[in-house]
Amino acid sequence: MGTWVVRLDGSGDGPRLAVKDCIDVAGLPTTAGCPVVAEMAEPAATDAAVVAAARKSGARIVGKTGLTELCWSASGVNHWAGTPVNPRDPRRVPGGSSSGSAVAVATGEADISLGTDTGGSVRIPAACCGVAGLKTTWGRVSVQGVYSLAPSLDSVGPMGADVAAVEHGMRLIEPGFTVPPLSGELTAGRVALTGLEDEVDPAVTAAVDRALAAAEVALTDVECGDFHASVDAAGVIIDAEGFRSNAYLMPYLTQLGPHIRRNMERGVRLSRADRAAAEQTRERIRDSMHALLADFPVLVLPTLIGQPPLLGEHGYALTMLTAPVNLAGLPALALPVPAMDGVIASLQVIGPDEETVLAFGRVVEAAVAAG
């Protein structure tokens, strides 16, 4: 298993599209990377809205890709179905939960893939595997026919080897999608990683800064809020809503992975006060990011604070720099940037809409390529 849950012929002329196995494809069961769900699953009667749109736009579905169990972890590790191998460094996690979707495009086995992003699950594997991935604005892309984790945060987005592939992915699921070219001086708010000084890998921030310098972006340092508080709040919302989404699995708790059992048990215990405090943090982050985007066209920061953790290593909170964007409901692009000594680095671009973040990403990508 690993990267692919099922391969399809997908013959034809359109772009090869891989679909995360929490998104319905007609005629195939949706397993959500979970043995209990897989045992219960009947073949989907219809395509999810995004798959139906992509087919209509000419995409060839070449298979369904692996993921972390129930989309409920950012590591990409799945002991039941197999963990996709990170093509950038096989010793390291591929990132999740859309692990197979990232690996499929990183290895060239698909031109475009679809993933889901609740706390970073498109951007994190994109960053780990050296590809581009787009978290879409909450509510812009239909989640009809997508296995739900946390409905107030869930989104579907495309991944590809580069910005052009991600743009093509948006056109597949939203016909007529276009990215206007940017003109004039590029400006951005560089989000200060306040409170994370001892946790951030300087090689990653240096790679991000070099890429922005290559594109001659005029940067202004800005404060966005407390990252640790954001991650904690996102964790409360995801575990509370994730428990509700998956409560029907409680009789089968012993058959679920240990981290899913912990998440479910925490979801049960969370109080109304816990959820209210998390909602207050969400509002603060949303207000802060929207206020900054009134002053700057985009906000920039790394996608991850360090290297993808080694397999079996406890690592760090992979969602540290991605979860705030989910809380704000904004779109964000993860874009690979070159780094020294084999370091894996990714730039995250947050903006008011998908068109703006992709236009900005396109310029940075071209500047880096020009060297």
For residues 258 and 270, what is the distance between their CA atoms, to the nearest angstrom? 18
pLDDT at residue 3, as a whole number: 97
Q: What is the CATH number of the domain that holds 362?
A: 3.40.190
Q: Residue 27 belongs to a domain with what CATH number? A: 3.90.1300.10
Position 11 pLDDT exceeds 90? no
Domain-embedded: residue 147: yes
pLDDT per residue over 161-196, tens digit each? 999 999 999 999 999 999 999 988 999 999 999 999
Q: What is the pLDDT of residue 183?
A: 85
Residue 2 pLDDT class (50, 70, 90 cuts):
confident
**Is residue 133 located within the same domain as residue 16?**
yes
Number of domains in the chain: 3
Give the Cα separation of 306 and 321 in Å (integer). Answer: 11
Asked if residue 59 belongs to a domain, the reply is yes
Q: Is residue 38 part of a domain?
A: yes
Query: Does residue 20 carry a catalytic annotation?
Result: yes
Nearest CA-CA partner of 338 in 182, 159, 214:
214
Is pTM beyond 0.75? Reply is yes
Write out pLDDT tens, residues 83-95: 999 999 999 999 9
Q: Specify if 180 maps to a domain.
A: no
Predicted confidence (pLDDT) per residue in 189-211, tens digit: 999 999 999 999 999 999 999 99
- Beta-carbon contacts of residue 130 (< 8 Å; ≥ 6 apart): 87, 88, 106, 336, 344, 346
**Residue 263 located in a structural domain:** yes
Residue 315 has pLDDT above 90, yes or no: no
Q: Do 233 and 124 share a structural domain?
A: no
**Do residues 164 and 26 share a domain?**
yes
Residue 181 included in any domain:
no
35 lies in the same domain as 96:
yes
At 10 the pLDDT is: 80
**78 and 144 housed in the same domain:** yes
pLDDT band of 12, cuts 50, 70, 90: confident
**Same domain? 32 vs 169:** yes
Confidence (pLDDT) at 194? 95
342-365 pLDDT tens trace: 999 999 999 999 999 999 999 999
Residue reference for tokens 């609740």 = 118
Residue 154 lies in a domain: yes
Mean pLDDT, rounded, for 315-344: 97
Say if residue 23 is in the same domain as residue 95.
Answer: yes
Q: What is the pLDDT of residues 275-308, one digit of tens each?
A: 999 999 999 999 999 999 999 999 999 999 999 9
In the prediction, which pLDDT does 309 show? 97
**pLDDT of res. 184:** 87
Please indicate, yes or no, whether residues 31 and 163 belong to a single structural domain of this protein.
yes
Considering the candidates 113, 121, 230, 288, report the single residue annotated as catalytic: 121
Q: Would residue 182 count as lying in a domain? A: no
For every residue of 44-63, DSSP letters joined together read: PSS--HHHHHHHHTT-EEEE
Q: Is 121 a catalytic residue?
A: yes
Residues 210 and 338 in one domain: yes
pLDDT at 355: 98
DSSP secondary structure, 187-235, as one string? EEEEE--TT-TTTS-HHHHHHHHHHHHHTT-EEEEE----HHHHHHHHH
- 318, pLDDT greater than 90: yes
Angle at CA of residue 212, ends 155 and 367, nearest 5°: 95
Domain of residue 157 covers: 4-173
Query: Could you tell me if 83 and 198 lie in one domain?
Result: no
Q: Which of 64, 73, 75, 97 is catalytic?
A: 97
Whether the pLDDT of residue 1 is over 90: the answer is no
Averaged confidence pLDDT in the chain: 97
Residues comprising the chain, all counted: 371
Are 151 and 206 found together in one domain?
no
- If asked whether residues 256 and 305 sit together in one domain, one would say no
